[in-house]
Amino acid sequence: MTNDFFDLIARLAKNEVDFVIVGGFAGVVHGCTYVTQDIDICCDFSVENLLKLQKAVCDLNPVHRMAANRNKLDLTSENCGSYKNLYLDTDIGQLDCLGSISGVGDYEQVKSKSILIDAEGINLRVLNIDALLESKKAMNRPRDKQAILQLKAAKKSKGK
Amino acid sequence: MQSGQNRTDDTEKDEILAAAEAGIDIDMLEANLKRSPIERIKRHQIAFNTAEKLRKAKRL
């Protein structure tokens, strides 16, 4: 498997999926130097948006990575409503799709606290540094504590 | 009693110092902040790929 996180998020953007990059990868965008193993996004869990998401990754053999049998992603208009989060594994990396973010709120609140970046002509929404800090504080795992230290230092360094 | 400006300076110093004391390479962080977001993403990808290659390497 060859991971290509940028390809993964570029596919989502090109397929007009409504999403915001959150979690560790958002920290990378804000300057954190750690290496993260997956991409977390917060997205609109409407049927239309989830079907766009599925279309974006359908040729990457997406599976539910948390399911015991790692069953294939098979979203339909009928079953989309049963998901609050999607934890996927694809041929080019893990993609966690979340309907809300601890410490920030639902997708609309997350989107309202995002910034837009231009990544090689692709516009991507990324959770802003203050909201990312709030989400990391809410999670408060050991890796979140490391991220908080980096984000706070990055914020101060940027403000110099 | 400290002036308002001194309190701000101390807070900045504390947050960068706290990160440094936790083992975070501040020089690396500050160098990264000079890069654009897409450059940071690309460098992360290089670091990830390198780490993956090393993780999968077999002992001779």
Residues B42-51: pLDDT tens digits?
A: 999 999 998 8
Given this structure, which CATH class describes domain A5-152?
alpha beta
**Residue B60 pLDDT level (bands cut at 50, 70, 90):** confident
Residue B50 resides in a domain:
yes
Domain ranges of chain A: 5-152
Mutate which of A29, A30, A33, A125 to disrupt the B interface (most B C-beta within 10 Å)? Answer: A33
Residue B41 resides in a domain:
yes
Q: What is the ipTM of this complex?
A: 0.86
pLDDT computed for residue B10 by the predictor: 58
Output the tens digit of pLDDT for each of chain A's 160 residues: 567 899 999 999 999 999 999 999 999 999 999 999 999 999 999 999 999 999 999 999 999 999 999 999 999 999 999 999 999 999 999 999 999 999 999 999 999 999 999 998 999 999 999 999 999 999 999 999 999 999 999 999 987 6
- Report the gap between the CA of B4 and the closest CA in chain A (Å): 16
Percent of chain A with pLDDT over 90: 94
pLDDT computed for residue B13 by the predictor: 61
The tens digit of pLDDT for each residue in A127-145 reads: 999 999 999 999 999 999 9
Residue B11 resides in a domain:
no
Distance CA A61, CA B59 (A): 31
| B52 or B31: which leads in pLDDT | B31
CA atoms within 13 A on the CB side of B5: 0
CB-based contact, A143 to chain B, within 8 Å: no
Asked whether the beta carbons of residue B41 and residue A126 sit closer than 8 angstroms, the reply is no
Please give the residue of chain B at the shortest CA–CA distance from A158: B33
What tokens does A116 get? 């837009």
Residue B4 resides in a domain:
no
Q: Which distant-in-sequence residues (6+ apart) come within 8 Å of A93 by Cβ?
A: A3, A4, A5, A8, A38, A39
Report how far apart the first and last C-alpha atoms of chain A are (Å, whole number). Answer: 41
Range of the domain at B39: 25-60
The tens digit of pLDDT for each residue in A78-88 reads: 999 999 999 99
Q: Is A85:A96 a contact under the CB 8 Å cutoff?
A: yes
- Report the gap between the CA of B36 and the closest CA in chain A (Å): 8
Identity of residue A2? T
